[in-house]
Amino acid sequence: MTTTALETTDLEIRGVPAEAAIVADVSFTLSPGEILGLIGESGSGKTTLGLAMLRYCKRGTRIADGRIRVGGTDLLDLGEKQAAAMRGRRVAYIPQSPGSALNPALRLHRQLAECVHDVSGTRATDRIKQVLDEVALPSDDDFLRRYPHQLSGGQQQRIAIAMAFVGRPEVVVLDEPTTGLDVTTQKRVLATIREMCARHGTAGVYISHDMAVVAELADRIAVMYSGRIVETGPTEAVLTEPRHHYTAGLVLAVPDLAGDRAMQAIEGQAPSPLNRPDGCAFAPRCPAATDDCRIAPPAPSEVGPEHEIRCLHPREGALRAPAKRAEAELPDASPVLQVRGIRAWYTKTPVLEDVSLDVQPGSCLALLGESGSGKTTLSRCLAGLHPQHEGSVLLHGHALPRSSAQRNREQRRQVQYVFQNPYESLNPRRRVRDLIAQPIKVLEGGAPADTADRVIEALQLAALRPDIAERYPDQLSGGERQRVAIARALVTGPKVLICDEITSALDVSVQSAIVDLLQDLRERMGLALVFVTHNIALVRNIAQQVAILQNGRIVENAASEQLFADPQHDYTRSLLDDAPNFQLA
């Protein structure tokens, strides 16, 4: 039995035709059953590196140098047909966006059966049902006859996980596979990933923005910045005493479930691969940078057992996080948005029952609950995107039509929606500048002279570089796409912003910057937020009010501090118990 499942040596991936190095000097080794957590900001090269493990490159990129070995096979020596035949068998991939990975025309059983290559017949069906049980999905025939569109986002993600493991691969690349899952399902799925990797000797490369999840799952961590691995080592050593200043910044940006410390974003932005500075790419953002750092990229140096960094001036000592700032008192005002007795359904299936809520101006209401509990359906009712409902939605005391098509321009301008999946909410044939300018033209009845300036301002509000305006969505990372969607929602100055899992695709630093942005807009402009999320620690840092949904009903609705300190409902307590809790040492 081989002692090495996956090995990369001096891997370099370049763009075409610019030949800029997107990934450079990447080397690591994984043993069977070992899981490597790959973390870093959006655009750092994590997904590009993960796809390279399948001998696959995004459009406009190529593997320029290095070696990738799975077991005893060098993937770069394989022909195109051989490499394609290996994918899903020896190396499997779980994508970030299950909606775009599942074939909408095929039933679930057919899609899962296509991934089973070593057994057939009843044995294949038995394995499919076993894997579905392991990822907390029904395994009955009725469920297997469903199509992907009949599943929630979390259920689609679990199907993608099942498709990867059902073929018993040697290596599995997991690209943010739990972003669409609630904490209860996430906990079970992570335990399943750990167990299956250990049981079958499958090495895992787990790409994630969620440091709390990586802390629970990974044996080792590799931190990527601007295409290079800047720190790698055992999970506990990297997260409790990071030696690279960038790693420390990521750790301090993680939301605190206890609510004692503030989320602290890393100042500045990562450079474009076309415009990297000389020397250390992190130097322009690093508090410890000197002139020596700007001469040449630092070579790897060992700072502990199996712990390496690329830094000339490593940090030492425990991290110190700033205390959480005191919340400003909300003005005593009438609710900007009122929900009364909402009942919603799909065909004849009820989804929401007797839901009533108030959202104050300048406040954030968070909606928490498992996948399928009705959070997204409720948020779509508020935006007029799900007209199959009864009850009332009132904006400033005036009833809104059930359908967005029946609302006037001003009503649509005041209630804006940011979708969970930026891959499906952005037109791939339009540049970013046109996507963000579209609400201005539609809702303000023309194209004002200052449209271009407002587009750039919206990009900056969402922590994006101005040059992003000239790109198409497929030229952006997942996190960058989500920030474009946020910029598009903000460009018309709404009064209510409905955020459906908007931070699930964002790295912790940008997530912190976006939370700071939303809090500033909330306090300065009186912007009301309806925040749908599975990230309970994030809720503690952004919401003043929390509503817990279970099976379409609100089972608890309380002030944030009160709910976290003394939850009253058993379901609320179970959610808090299952939430991953990352604490500084």
Give tens-digit pLDDT for 389-404. 999 999 999 999 999 9
Check: pTM over 0.85? Answer yes or no. no
Q: In this structure, are residues 468 and 485 in contact, taking their beta carbons and an 8 Å threshold?
A: no
Q: What is the pLDDT, as a whole number, of residue 331?
A: 64
Spatial separation of the C-alpha atoms in residues 529 and 297, rounded to whole Å: 43
Please give the DSSP secondary-structure letter assigned to residue 274: G
Q: What is the pLDDT, as a whole number, of residue 463?
A: 76
- Residue 544 has a CB neighbour count (10 Å cut-off) of 17
State the DSSP string of 181-234.
Answer: S-HHHHHHHHHHHHHHHHHHT-EEEEE-S-HHHHHHH-SEEEEEETTEEEEEEE
Whole-number average pLDDT of the chain: 90
Q: What is the pLDDT, as a whole number, of residue 396?
A: 94
Residue 514 has pLDDT above 90, yes or no: no
pLDDT digits 0-9 by tens, 456-482: 999 988 878 899 999 999 888 767 888
pLDDT digits 0-9 by tens, 176-224: 887 767 788 788 888 888 988 988 899 999 998 888 889 989 999 999 9
| Average pLDDT value for residue range 540-551 | 94
| SS3 state of residue 272 | coil
Task: Looking at mean pLDDT, say which of 352-366, 470-484, 520-534 comes out highest.
Answer: 352-366
Tokens coding 405: 């098509």
Q: What is the pLDDT, as a whole number, of residue 379?
A: 96
Q: Which CATH architecture has domain 337-424+494-578?
A: 3-Layer(aba) Sandwich (3.40)
Q: What percentage of the chain has pLDDT greater than the value 90?
A: 61
Q: What percentage of the chain has pLDDT greater than the value 70?
A: 97
Q: What is the pLDDT, as a whole number, of residue 191?
A: 85
Q: In this structure, are residues 5 and 71 in contact, taking their beta carbons and an 8 Å threshold?
A: yes
Residue 119 has pLDDT above 60, yes or no: yes
Q: What is the pLDDT, as a whole number, of residue 274?
A: 84
pLDDT digits 0-9 by tens, 549-562: 999 999 999 999 99
Q: What is the pLDDT, as a whole number, of residue 212?
A: 85
Q: What is the pLDDT, as a whole number, of residue 387?
A: 93
pLDDT digits 0-9 by tens, 292-351: 999 999 999 999 999 999 999 999 987 877 777 666 666 677 899 999 999 999 988 899
**Helix, strand, coil shares, percent, the chain, to 5:** 35, 25, 40
pLDDT digits 0-9 by tens, 371-381: 789 999 999 99
| Average pLDDT value for residue range 83-100 | 86
Spatial separation of the C-alpha atoms in residues 391 and 400, rounded to whole Å: 11
Q: Which amino acid appears at position 143 of this protein?
A: F
Spatial separation of the C-alpha atoms in residues 507 and 43, rounded to whole Å: 10
Pick the more confident residue, 274 or 539.
539
pLDDT band for 1, please (50, 70, 90 cuts).
Answer: very low
Q: What is the pLDDT, as a whole number, of residue 348?
A: 85
